[in-house]
Each structure stands twice: as C-alpha cells, then as structure tokens.
Amino acid sequence: MKKKEFKYTKDIQKRKFKYVRAKKIPSLEDVLKDFLEDNKEFKVPLKNYEVVNAWDEIIGEPFNKFSKALKLTNYVLYVKAKNSVYKAEIHFLEKDIIKRINYYFKGVRVKKIVVL
C-alpha cells in the first residue's frame, strides 16, 4: 500500500489566514475586535457589562461606597443600595444618573433605574 503524502486541499489554501500572512503576532485586542465584528450576538452583553463596571466611576463619591450596579437588561439598570437613605437618594436623582450614564457612553444605554 502506498502512503499518501499530506497535501493541502484547494479549500484550505483559499482560506484567509490574515494573521499568518502578517508574520507577526497580533495583539489580543485586535483578535477580540475581529471576533466581535464577526459575532454580533456578543456585543450587547458586553455593552451591558461595561455599564455595570463603570458604575463607580460614573456615580462618584459617596454613592459608589454605598451602592452597587448589579445588572443591565433591556435598558433597565438594577442597583443595590446598602440602606434606605441611599435608596431614596438614588431614586430621587434617577434622571440625572441616567443622563450621566448615557453621556458617558455617548448613546442610550439606560432608560430606567430600579433600586433594590
């Protein structure tokens, strides 16, 4: 029996190997950007995660010590407050906080805040 030598098929040769052709190792940032461009279904959860992560920076002192953003779903941000005083304060400043968040991300990310 004759052993077959491994040869690339025409299909494999036609595929695009943009990172191999560049002869340099791409940064992780570039790889992730390409991945997100190809897979649009991952963009929305990542945008929601960005809002939750940026809560401390956006809200500022002293609220960031006594409140925590839990999740963002369907433009509704769920926030946990440590006591009723901060819960009432966040509820009172809800429109201002929503404007801050949307300005920070340069687009509509939050339409309502639910304080738990």
CA distances from 74 to 7, 34, 77, 111, 112 (A): 51, 26, 8, 9, 9
Residue 69 lies in a domain: yes
Residue 74 lies in a domain: yes
* Closest CA relative to residue 77, chosen from 44, 100, 55, 110: 110
Check the CA dihedral 6-10-16-22 and report its sign: positive
Enumerate residues 6+ apart whose C-beta is below 8 A from 9.
Answer: none
For residue 37, pLDDT beyond 80: no
Q: What is the pLDDT of residues 39-62, one digit of tens each?
A: 777 667 778 888 888 898 988 888
Residue 3 lies in a domain: no
List the CATH number of the domain containing 47: 3.30.300.180
Residue 20 lies in a domain: no
**pTM score over 0.85:** no
Could you tell me the pLDDT band of residue 2, with boundaries at 50, 70 and 90?
A: low
Domain count within the chain = 1
Residue 54 lies in a domain: yes
3-state secondary structure of 114: strand
Q: What is the mean pLDDT of the chain?
A: 80
Q: Rounded to whole angstroms, how far apart are CA atoms 40 and 35?
A: 9
Residue 52 lies in a domain: yes
Percent of the chain exceeding pLDDT 90 equals 35
| DSSP, res 113 | E
Q: What is the pLDDT of residues 68-91, one digit of tens each?
A: 999 999 999 999 999 999 899 999
- Residue 110, domain extent: 42-115
Residue 70 lies in a domain: yes
Residue 8 lies in a domain: no
**pLDDT given for residue 6 in this prediction:** 46
